[in-house]
């Protein structure tokens, strides 16, 4: 019984990895012109989050474009910015975000401003798991530059950068503080 359960869990998680990777690859094969643009990214459907770790375009795809039927949601304007999804995709603009570029939070402080790409972190290293940074004794879910978060930042940000072993994750002071 226990074995069967473990097997089921293993099957489900490999299916999930397959499923999420295929969203991006089916998107780029449906719209080859987005290859190499900012739209070839998890953020296209996942940021900024509106519900269930999906943005407005991701939600429309899930609910109105079932089985990856991208055509069914082309005429919609998911992010309500006055341009249809297909117009935005052709223009290499995010169909699920009114922002033209990825979402940044900039901490200004005496040591030097820290540019934090929230969107990249949510969809990349944290893979949608908000609890990597938010929760009790973690970062609040609001941005207020007048409330310092130095101690939390130097623990939470630095620890993950160190543990990730990723050479693009800054560990030196003047790489984060510019
Ligand atoms: C073209 C849109 C699109 C792109 C691009 C995309 N996703 Fe998704 N993703 C979705 C949708 C829609 C769901 C919801 C599936 C559901 O609930 O039926 C989802 C679900 C997920 C889930 C939840 C687990 C699951 O399988 O249900 C994770 C984690 C995820 N995506 C991660 C990623 C990552 C990481 C990337 C970039 C490599 C990515 N996604 C790119 C549309 C997208
Ligand atoms: C890698 C760390 C990290 C992850 C993962 C993360 N956040 Fe954040 N988030 C932050 C930080 C840091 C701030 C700024 C907090 C502050 O200034 O005190 C923030 C701020 C926010 C804000 C306020 C933005 C504003 O403009 O006021 C919201 C909303 C938010 N996060 C939602 C989420 C959600 C939803 C998820 C999961 C889908 C998530 N975050 C995942 C680090 C993260
Ligand atoms: C991973 C990124 C990162 C690294 C590496 C880093 N910091 Fe920071 N640091 C931050 C963030 C984010 C804040 C919070 C800024 C805020 O609250 O506005 C901060 C805040 C500070 C502050 C407080 C500034 C003030 O106005 O009170 C000082 C001082 C500081 N860091 C010094 C350092 C030193 C020295 C190092 C190297 C040993 C370092 N930091 C490395 C991200 C980093
Ligand atoms: C869940 C782990 C994790 C957490 C938490 C995290 N980071 Fe990162 N960060 C990474 C990884 C991994 C990379 C390298 C991504 C890549 O491959 O480019 C990175 C890259 C960066 C970069 C360089 C790329 C860029 O966007 O310019 C900066 C700056 C940065 N992080 C700042 C921060 C700050 C500030 C915090 C805390 C508020 C933070 N990170 C929290 C994992 C994390």
Q: What CA–CA distance (Å, rounded) separates 112 from 93? A: 31
Nearest alpha-carbon partner for 95 in 59, 123, 126, 66? 59
The tokens describing 64, both together, are 């109105």
Burial 114-126, CB ≥16 within 10 A → b, else e: bebebbbbbbeeb
pLDDT of residue 50: 85
Ranges 7-11, 85-89, 116-120, 147-151, most confident: 85-89
Domain boundaries, the chain: 2-90, 104-176
Q: 172 CA distance to ligand 3 centroid (A)?
A: 10
d(CA 143, CA 177): 18
Task: Tell me which residue has tokens 């009114």.
Answer: 98
Does residue 65 carry a pLDDT above 70?
A: yes
Judge if the beta carbon of residue 125 lies within 6 A of ligand 1.
Answer: no
Cα separations in angstroms, 3 against 10, 50, 81: 11, 38, 51
Name the band, by pLDDT with cuts 50, 70 and 90, for residue 124.
confident
Choice between 32 and 41, residue whose per-residue pLDDT is larger: 32
Q: Which two tokens stand for residue 47?
A: 């940021």
Q: Which residue do the tokens 């290293």 mark?
A: 125
Provide mean pLDDT across the span 172-177.
95
In whole angstroms, give the CA distance from residue 128 to residue 124.
8
How big is the CA angle at 145 (ends 98 and 51), to the nearest 5 degrees? 40
pLDDT-based confidence at 145, cuts 50/70/90? Answer: confident
Say whether pLDDT at 6 is over 80.
no
CA of 176 to the centre of ligand 3 (A): 7
Residue 173 clears pLDDT 90, i.e. is over it: yes
CA 9 to chain CA centroid, Å, is: 25
CA gap 157, 19 in Å, rounded:
29
pLDDT interval class at 73 (50, 70, 90): very high
CA-nearest of 104, 107, 82 to 93 is 82
What separation in Å is there between the alpha carbon of 176 and the centre of ligand 4?
9
Among all ligands shown, which has an atom nearest to the Cα of 120? 4
105 C-beta closer than 6 A to ligand 2: yes
């Amino acid at each position: 019984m226990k074995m069967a359960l473990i097997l089921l869990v293993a099957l489900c998680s490999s299916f999930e990895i397959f499923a999420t990777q295929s969203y991006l690859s089916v998107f780029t094969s449906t719209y080859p012109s987005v290859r190499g643009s900012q739209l070839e990214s998890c953020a296209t459907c996942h940021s900024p989050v509106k519900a269930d770790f999906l943005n407005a375009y991701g939600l429309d795809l899930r609910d109105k474009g079932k089985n990856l039927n991208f055509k069914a949601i082309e005429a919609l304007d998911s992010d309500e910015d006055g341009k249809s999804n297909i117009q935005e995709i052709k223009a290499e603009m995010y169909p699920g975000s009114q922002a033209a570029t990825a979402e940044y939070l900039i901490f200004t402080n005496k040591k030097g401003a820290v540019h934090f790409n929230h969107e990249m972190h949510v969809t990349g290293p944290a893979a949608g798991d908000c609890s990597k940074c938010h929760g009790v004794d973690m970062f609040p879910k609001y941005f207020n530059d007048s409330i310092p978060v130095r101690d939390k930042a130097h623990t939470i940000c630095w620890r993950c950068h160190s543990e990730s072993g990723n050479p693009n994750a800054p560990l030196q002071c003047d790489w984060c503080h510019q």
